[in-house]
Structure 1
Amino acid sequence: MTRPVDSGIIFIARIALAVLFLWGGVMKLLGYAGFVGYLHSKGVPFLQIAAPIATAVEALGGLLLIVGFKVRPLALIMAVYTVATAVLGHDFWNVVDPALQREMVIHFWKNIGIAGGFLLLFVTGAGRLSIDGARAPRGGLGR
Structure 2
Amino acid sequence: MRYFSITKFSDAILLITRIMLMLLFVIFGYEKLIGFSGTINYMASTGSPFPTLSAIVAVVLEFFVGIAIILGFYTRPLALIMAVYTLITALIGHNFWTMTGAAHYANEINFYKNVAIMGGLFLLALTGPGKYSLDRK
TM-score surpassing 0.5? Answer: yes
- Are positions 1:112 and 2:115 aligned together? yes
Matches within 5 A, 1:1-143: 3-96=7-100, 98-133=101-136, 136=137
Shift of 1:4: 3.3
What TM-score, normalized by structure 1, do the two folds share? 0.88
User: Match of 1:114, SS?
Assistant: helix
> Once the 2 structures are TM-superposed, how far is the Cα of residue 122 of structure 1 from its aligned partner?
0.4
For residue 32 of structure 2, what is the amino acid of its counterpart? K
Out of 48-57 and 78-87, give the one that drifted further. 48-57
Q: Percent of counterpart pairs with the same letter? A: 43
Write the distance in 2 (CA, Å) between the matches of 1:14 and 1:23: 14
Amino acid of the residue matched to residue 28 of structure 2?
G
1:13-48 Cα shifts (integer Å, max 9, x gaps): 000011111101100012212211111111111222
Residue ranges of structure 2 left out of the alignment (5+ in a row) = 1-6
- Coordinate RMSD, CA, aligned: 1.3
Structure 1 segments of 4 or more deviating over 6 A? none
Shift of 1:69: 0.5
Stretches of structure 1 that go unaligned for 5 or more consecutive residues are 137-143
User: TM-score, length-normalised on structure 2?
Assistant: 0.92
Residues 18 and 69 of structure 2 are in contact (CA less than 8 Å); yes or no, is this contact kept in structure 1?
Answer: yes
**1:69 is matched by which residue type in structure 2?**
F
2:41 touches 2:51 (CA, 8 Å); kept in 1? no
Q: Distance in 1 between matches of 2:95 and 2:44?
A: 14
